[in-house]
Amino acid sequence: MLISPPSLLITDDDGAFRETLCSVFAPRGFHTLTACDGAEALEIVARQPVHVLLTDMHMPRLNGLETIRQIRQRRLILPCILLSAGCDDTLEAHARDVQAFTVLRKPVRFADVTRAVHQALRVTYGWGDADVAVS
């Protein structure tokens, strides 16, 4: 069942990066939400539907892994994409442990992040490219 438009929660302590990602996804049919850290992201997820979470690893209050871990503890089905400049085998192993959908290395290419979001929608909800604009 398609819920239109899909909600994308962009969580990063860099406001300019959040706004840049909003400017990439909003024209592609997404309802974009933003949070400055994991604690704020959890508050948003508790209040309204979110279909995909994009979260930075290194943030104040609650980092990306801990945010995903808490989402899993709440038994939410929510694909979580972790972004990190310090991506290595250890971080990727921790991301697998908390069932992150994928890990992307910063600086991230817009083509890579849009592809990951579309793949998360397809795998998690069965949404195809016709359900969300692709480009």
**Domain annotation covers residue 135:** no
pLDDT at 130: 55
**Domain annotation covers residue 62:** yes
Mean pLDDT by 10 residues, the chain (135 residues): 79 97 95 97 96 96 96 93 90 94 95 96 84 48
Contacts 24+ apart (CB under 8 A), 36-41: 36/11, 36/12, 37/11, 37/13, 37/61, 37/62, 38/11, 38/62, 38/63, 38/64, 38/66, 38/67, 38/70, 40/11, 41/9, 41/11, 41/67
**Domain annotation covers residue 118:** yes
pLDDT at 87: 81
| Domain span holding position 111 | 7-125
pLDDT at 131: 55
How many domains does the chain fold into? 1
**Domain annotation covers residue 131:** no
**Domain annotation covers residue 133:** no
pLDDT at 66: 97
CATH code at 25? 3.40.50.2300
**Domain annotation covers residue 130:** no
pLDDT at 1: 45
**Domain annotation covers residue 73:** yes
